[in-house]
Structure 1
């Protein structure tokens, strides 16, 4: 039982740091993505009510990349602190070799890899499919469906500004309407002026072909150019405005939403490359664990963060190489049999080399010192 104390202690320190680092990284990434979606909602391109759903569905696809990086940084920070506090020196005096430390590190890496595999093979594709479904539903909405009372809303191309003072809960009736729209020439290349519509109220009307119109009631239309006195005023009882469908931008790749079960039986290069990518993410966890153990070795005189930047650059090189090779797999320039596996092999060898180099260097230095003493 006493032999489990050290592995449990190391695992606890590592997992606590992993949790803290991953939480910070997830908050940063989700904040940036939420701001992007929030900007689309402010433009009337997204229903604000679906923002929380979209973010929750994207969490697995964020975590599948955050967790390997969180484990890597967690090892660097946790073990770096142990080196600075001389705890690693005490462990080394009790027979803790770097190789044994790496083995102990792989123990907490196993549940992390299992969680990443669950994300990459199951939850992430499912979440992306749900996000894609929500975005497709948003693309079917019109400007009328995304109106917010008391707010001036601009269409994405800037051609129309809409304002309503009040809107019923079922979004069928609106009151106090203001619409400003640029008038373009027939070829679409030159602006001919601005048309301003004001009305006491309005309603939405759906035609047989699926197109929707905003039917305004009891209002005025003003046509002219800003700054010029030559303008035209038309009073109307009923006026129809075609409602354009907002174009919701999406960075989602369609193949990312394909279930893993369909990728396994596919012979398309892009699908096979996607399958190898999903399988590579849990494998990435074990490789970065081996890489991080020797990189976490810190000298109290040098400080805790001296090796942090080179280690992060090595991790970025690893991930960038995987992404680049994935692109070559898509194009069929690399055989699928070789695939992404050689990248993991190269960086695993780098990790093993770093892991065995320091003990080998110390052993060689010790032998040189013994020889010099014997000759002396």
Structure 2
């Protein structure tokens, strides 16, 4: 029992450290992407942390299996390097018993991943989609920041306001530059510049919004040419386009797991198998990691780390490819994603029993040579 607690603690501590580092890296990359969308005016900066909170379960459900895999490799690799595993082997610790001990922390991680995959992650996706839909309904002035030039996503429109009321209804010191295109939307025909002392948003009965500019000028022309046309106006209406926020998830990822069970839809069944595959992935990578962690002290603990990571990436990539084929009907639902797990279970068993069999064959060969001599 002491050995079991010691090994479990080593694995869980390393798992926590590795998972924390991976989570920070992934969330930082995602946050930078959302921050760029907020800088373009596509997202309200106030919802960035809320979106990241909804994305957290989806990140964790994929990070934890990798964290466990690397945790076993690094923790057991250190034990082999310090000859602690040699001492344990001398007291009867076989690879099979080491695997059984490793399945205890793996079970804990699998239960956590199952909770994330089957429950929290779909809820998080639904919350993220709700926020993005709300943001998609906003106009550019709902996300406008006073004193900053704001470009729309396609770069065809640049907006600036010097002042903005708290309710975002009244603006002052307005500048708008917009490219003009031909009616077919192809060739650029010049630019239109609007300046105004003040402006206000006005909602029409059909739901469209207009910016009503007051006391300003409109300039039409082509850059580099002196044929600009200037028009002075007292009141001018500008239709406000709705920015499009790019989503990273599909609607089926937000469907509760209870609605996936028993569904006749092939895509929903594929989603269900994917959610069940992630907890199962935890046990398979544990089977792979235990024999891969066995290293010679003279070779270093990182010798097998790169091949092991490549094997994990191949496992995950094959799962994703099988999921895509399942969506397209190229793989029957009965076969689904389970054959991928079967392939890597066979690889794990081969790695687990290969070394003992090789040593057994080597000892038999040596005994025969001694008998002949």
TM superposition score category, shorter chain reference: over 0.9
SS at match of 1:353: helix
**CA distance in structure 2 between the aligned counterparts of 1:192 and 1:323, rounded to whole angstroms:** 46
Listed as ranges, the matches of 1:260-275 within 5 Å are 260-275=257-272
Listed as ranges, the matches of 1:60-79 within 5 Å are 60-79=57-76
Which residue in 2 is equivalent to 1:317? 314
Deviation at 1:194, TM superposition (A): 1.4
1:40 counterpart = 2:37:
yes
Which residue in 2 is equivalent to 1:118? 115
SS at match of 1:261: helix
**CA distance in structure 1 between the aligned counterparts of 2:138 and 2:358, rounded to whole angstroms:** 67
| 1:289-327 Cα distance to aligned partner (Å, 9 max, x none) | 010000001111111211111111111111111111112
Moved more, 30-39 or 11-20: 30-39
Alignment equivalent of 1:160, drawn from 157, 165, 185? 157
Deviation at 1:166, TM superposition (A): 1.4
Does the 8 Å contact 1:160/1:179 carry over to 2? yes
Deviation at 1:188, TM superposition (A): 2.2
Listed as ranges, the matches of 1:294-309 within 5 Å are 294-309=291-306
Which residue in 1 is equivalent to 2:199? 202
1:214 counterpart = 2:216:
no
- TM-score by structure 1 length? 0.97
Which residue in 2 is equivalent to 1:364? 361
Deviation at 1:137, TM superposition (A): 0.6
Does the 8 Å contact 1:291/1:350 carry over to 2? yes
Alignment equivalent of 2:179, drawn from 167, 182, 200? 182
**CA distance in structure 1 between the aligned counterparts of 2:54 and 2:162, rounded to whole angstroms:** 34
Deviation at 1:71, TM superposition (A): 0.6
1:150 counterpart = 2:142:
no
SS at match of 2:104: helix
Deviation at 1:26, TM superposition (A): 1.1
**CA distance in structure 2 between the aligned counterparts of 1:146 and 1:15, rounded to whole angstroms:** 44
Deviation at 1:372, TM superposition (A): 2.5
1:59 counterpart = 2:74:
no
- TM-score by structure 2 length? 0.98
SS at match of 2:199: strand
Alignment equivalent of 2:170, drawn from 160, 173, 182? 173
**CA distance in structure 2 between the aligned counterparts of 1:115 and 1:160, rounded to whole angstroms:** 47
**CA RMSD, 1 decimal:** 1.1
SS at match of 2:194: strand
Task: Please list every run of 5 or more consecutive structure 1 residues that lacks an aligned counterpart in the other structure.
Answer: none
Which residue in 1 is equivalent to 2:190? 193
**CA distance in structure 1 between the aligned counterparts of 2:13 and 2:239, rounded to whole angstroms:** 56
| 1:127-146 Cα distance to aligned partner (Å, 9 max, x none) | 00110111111110011111
SS at match of 1:267: coil
**CA distance in structure 2 between the aligned counterparts of 1:172 and 1:139, rounded to whole angstroms:** 19
SS at match of 2:48: helix
Which residue in 2 is equivalent to 1:132? 129
Deviation at 1:356, TM superposition (A): 1.3
Does the 8 Å contact 1:143/1:246 carry over to 2? yes
**CA distance in structure 2 between the aligned counterparts of 1:352 and 1:143, rounded to whole angstroms:** 58
SS at match of 1:80: helix
| 1:111-170 Cα distance to aligned partner (Å, 9 max, x none) | 100000001100001100110111111110011111111110011121110001111111
Moved more, 167-176 or 124-133: 167-176
SS at match of 2:66: helix
